[in-house]
Amino acid sequence: MSKETVNLSLANPRGFCAGVDRAILIVEKALEKYGAPIYVHHEVVHNKYVINNLKKKGAIFVDSIKDIPKTSHVIFSAHGVSKAIKKEAQDFNLIAIDATCPLVTKVHGEVNKLSEQEHTIIMIGHKGHPEVEGTMGQINKNSSNSQIHLVESVRDVKKLNLLDSNKLSYVSQTTLSMDDTKKIIDSLKNKYPLISGPKNDDICYATQNRQEAVKKMLGKHDLIFVIGSKNSSNSNRLAEIAKEKKIDAILIDNMSDFKESWLKNKKNIGVTAGASAPELLVQELITEIKKTKDILISEIKGIEETIIFKLPKI
């Protein structure tokens, strides 16, 4: 029996960003230079495939500095860490290599500068995400200079009880929804006219470009696959953009989860990948679809990314 033909378009840009590329390379180079095991504080990037691959090469991922033998090498993940974690690593005589994405480090710099200027800071982000913990952790909880408060939604802004002042500022997580963040910033500006912040927000180029690329697929597709892990913030945001427009969107991490039934009555399928998902998984998904469908593949034109971040000294 002949197979049904479906159109499959690939979003651009998709997949690895410069910060993820750099973080993975840092772990690989450290393994090459110092040999296994190399300890990594938290998942270096939020992708199961990448983590399992690095585990096979000898990386050990830990959630606590206390789990690392003294004098070992430790790599801080692309999401960045708090000052307390850096201090703890020092106290344990660990040799730290920092894989924090330079765009997250930039936000840490903003927070530190604002704290020196005794500002009260509002962080827009998702509670419990390692990047948010690292950024908020630039300020000591008992600091008398500065305070930092987390808001996740417009509702949280309504609950804030702060004085409007020109010493009130906001920063944001780098991987948020551009649209939701704009709404939160607008409500902050409305409630606190004197508040200041970065020109737009701190959402990074890779998150913005991938969100714009998914928006281009809306209206033309009846199913959008987003390759990414469940704990990947930027991948989840990509799926949300499609779902908000009532388009079926499936976040898929591992092709063993693939269900043929997802393709039923779908003629135009879009595929993208979060900033921490390798292209290899996109190709694996295409192979899965080809098992039951003939496909006409096209690439959707998008912004060409040329950013590369320098590696730290390893």
Least distance in angstroms from the C-beta of 63 to ligand SF4 = 20
Rule CB under 6 A: is residue 20 a binding residue for ligand SF4? yes
Q: Does 238 bind ligand SF4 (CB under 6 A)?
A: no
Q: Which tokens is 67 given?
A: 């789990």
> Nearest approach, Cβ of 279 to ligand SF4 (angstroms)?
15
The 10 Å CB-count burial string (b at 16+, else e) for 301-313 is: ebeeeeeebeeee
- Could you tell me which of 44, 50, 138, 137 has the C-alpha nearest to residue 99? 44
Question: How many chain residues are in contact with ligand SF4, going by CB under 6 A?
Answer: 15
- Segment contacting ligand SF4 (CB under 6 A): 59-67, 84-92, 98-106, 237-245? 98-106
Should residue 78 be labelled a site residue for ligand SF4 when binding is judged by CB under 6 A? Answer: yes
Q: What residues are paired with 41 via a beta bridge?
A: 62, 76
DSSP 100-111: --HHHHHHHHHH
Unique residue bearing structure tokens 């020092």? 90
Of the listed 88, 110, 131, 240, which one is catalytic?
A: 131
- Comparison of 11 and 289: residue with beta carbon closer to ligand SF4: 11
Which of 6, 13, 16 has its CA nearest to residue 223? 6
Residues shown for the chain: 314
DSSP codes, 198-241: -SS-S--HHHHHHHHHHHHHTTT-SEEEEE--TT-HHHHHHHHH
**19, 197, 228, 278: which one binds ligand SF4 (CB under 6 A):** 19
Nearer to ligand SF4, 22 or 221 (CB): 22
Query: Is 275 near ligand SF4 (CB under 6 A)?
Result: yes
Least Cα distance to 84 among 20, 26, 92 occurs for 92
Out of 6, 8, 11, 18, the residue judged to bind ligand SF4 by CB under 6 A: 18
Which of 171, 206, 226, 282 contacts ligand SF4 by CB under 6 A? 206
The CB-nearest residue to ligand SF4 is: 19
Question: Can you tell me which of 27, 68, 97, 104 binds ligand SF4, judged by CB under 6 A?
Answer: 104
204 binds ligand SF4 (CB under 6 A): yes
CB of 202 to ligand SF4, least distance (A): 9
Nearer to ligand SF4, 123 or 269 (CB): 123
Task: Encode 131-153: b = buried (16+ Cβ within 10 Å), e = exposed.
Answer: bbbbbbbbbeeeeeebebebbbe
Q: Of all helices (H) and strands (E), which one includes residue 243?
A: helix 233-244
* Footprint on residues 173-202 left by ligand SF4 (CB under 6 A): 174-175
Q: Which is nearer to ligand SF4, 20 or 224 (CB)?
A: 20
Q: Is 17 in the site for ligand SF4 (CB under 6 A)?
A: yes
Q: Is 131 a catalytic residue?
A: yes
CA distance linking residue 118 with residue 116, whole number of Å: 5
Match 């292209």 to its residue by tokens: 279
Nearer to ligand SF4 (CB atom), residue 8 or residue 80 = 80
**Residues within the interface to ligand SF4 (CB under 6 A):** 17-20, 78, 101, 103-104, 174-175, 204, 206-207, 234, 275
Q: Which residues are catalytic?
A: 131
